[in-house]
Amino acid sequence: MWTELLPVGRSSASGGYRRFAWTAADAECRAWFEEQARARGLACEVDRNGNQWAWLGDPAAGNAVVTGSHLDSVPDGGAFDGPLGVVSAFAALDELRGRGVRFTRPLGVVNFGDEEGARFGLACVGSRLTAGKLTAEQAHRLTDRDGISLPRAMEAAGHDPEAIGPDPERLARIGAFVELHVEQGRALDELGHAVGVASAIWPHGRWRFDFRGEANHAGTTRLTDRHDPMLPYAETVLAARREAERAGAVATFGKVAVEPNGVNAIPSLVRGWLDARAADQDVLDTVVGGIEQAARKGADGHGVTLDVVRESFTPVARFDHALRDDLVRILARTDGPDVPVLGTGAGHDAGILSASIPTAMLFVRNPTGVSHSPAESATEDDCLAGVRALADVLEGLACR
């Protein structure tokens, strides 16, 4: 499975993945998923929001156990973020069949669409729509950097955009969702464990800062006559670092657009996107408030206007305690009593769904902690330990 997926959407220039929602690479990933389902005799379906499901048993029976993750990537992402959860889901099913277990609940494998939000700017679109956390109207207004709207992109990929919307009946059939994911930090490595269990996801969001100034000649405009939006933007980037450090949070400007984007022109517009996350909502509010204050001060000082728009926000997700304790107990049988239970600053579909259904996550050790980069890694032994852990968990949940 891994070898088949490896070349899909991989850039030969960077070695990273560019598997964006509703593109050709995404379609290839989806075809791969369908093929895996078919090869195992699972019934494959695409839901109204473009999420793919493969079923063993009839989900209409209810109380289903679902596992899986996503196959899309950030720009130049790594191989593991997302795909490890989907590959491990199919591999865990193979392992369980090898063990000869009898399933007492329907078992589903899922590939959630557009988890990273790399193309349309909003993460977890597939699960948000399904859980009713994003309305069809809001989704219809999303556009990519070329001005292509989400409905147009869906249509071009053969999915009906008019069908999208909340899917409570589907969620009501699921008794538990367990997402396995590569760890996006080094906690497991430091603790010396291959596999851990998630406790909570930090609240996080994305804010767009538009600094508008005046385009002018870079050679002839005196410094005192300029309204250069790059300057308050630069001050804001530094303020983000300062505020995050002060609060023990994280804040990142990782995407920026400049107009007219000429070497010899003072910009008319600098648009920067802030990604900010903290363990606690109040801390996050303070951090973002501090950054915005610094941005306003900088903008005023340079005769530049500023608009700040919160483009998305995900409150803290605390995973179901009973399910989490189940996972810890099941893992402890093979790993011993000190199973790591970790919080994370990364968003996941499991976090979105945690408000509607019992969800849990397993993390697999990432020796460097690097993620959202081609350098993301996990050893084969650890990936196999993850598959065994997921199989144990699914056996514990779906075969009792």
- Where along the sequence are the contacts to ligand HGY (CB under 6 A)? 115-116, 123, 346-347
Residues 128 and 354 sit within 8 Å (Cβ to Cβ): no
Buried b / exposed e over 76-99, threshold 16 CB at 10 Å, is bbbbbbbbbbbbbbbbbbebbeee
What SS3 class is residue 25?
Answer: helix
In 13-132, which residue ranges form alpha helices assigned H by DSSP?
24-39, 83-99, 125-131
> With binding defined as CB under 5 A, does residue 81 bind Mn ion?
yes
Q: Which is nearer to Mn ion, 266 or 362 (CB)?
A: 362
d(CA 358, CA 198): 13
How near is the Cβ of 353 to Mn ion at its closest, in Å? Answer: 14
How near is the Cβ of 349 to ligand HGY at its closest, in Å? Answer: 9
Span interacting with Mn ion, options 28-36, 80-88, 190-198, 255-263, rule CB under 5 A = 80-88
- Eight-class DSSP state of 223: G
Q: Which residues have CB under 8 Å from 95's CB, separation 6+?
A: 387, 388, 391
Sign of dihedral through CA atoms 39, 366, 68, 22? negative
Q: Which is nearer to ligand HGY, 8 or 123 (CB)?
A: 123
Which has the closest alpha carbon to 294: 253, 229, 208, 233?
233
- Binds Mn ion (CB under 5 A): choice among 50, 59, 68, 82: 82
Q: Which is nearer to Mn ion, 82 or 203 (CB)?
A: 82
> With binding defined as CB under 5 A, does residue 78 bind Mn ion?
no
Residue 349's binding partner, choosing from ligand HGY, Mn ion, none, with beta-carbon cut-off 5 to 8 A by kind?
A: none
Residue 123's binding partner, choosing from Mn ion, ligand HGY, none, with beta-carbon cut-off 5 to 8 A by kind?
A: ligand HGY
d(CA 211, CA 270): 5
Q: Which is nearer to ligand HGY, 185 or 303 (CB)?
A: 185
Size of the site for Mn ion (CB under 5 A): 2
How near is the Cβ of 376 to ligand HGY at its closest, in Å? Answer: 11
Q: Which is nearer to ligand HGY, 115 or 144 (CB)?
A: 115
Contacts with Mn ion by CB under 5 A lie at: 81-82
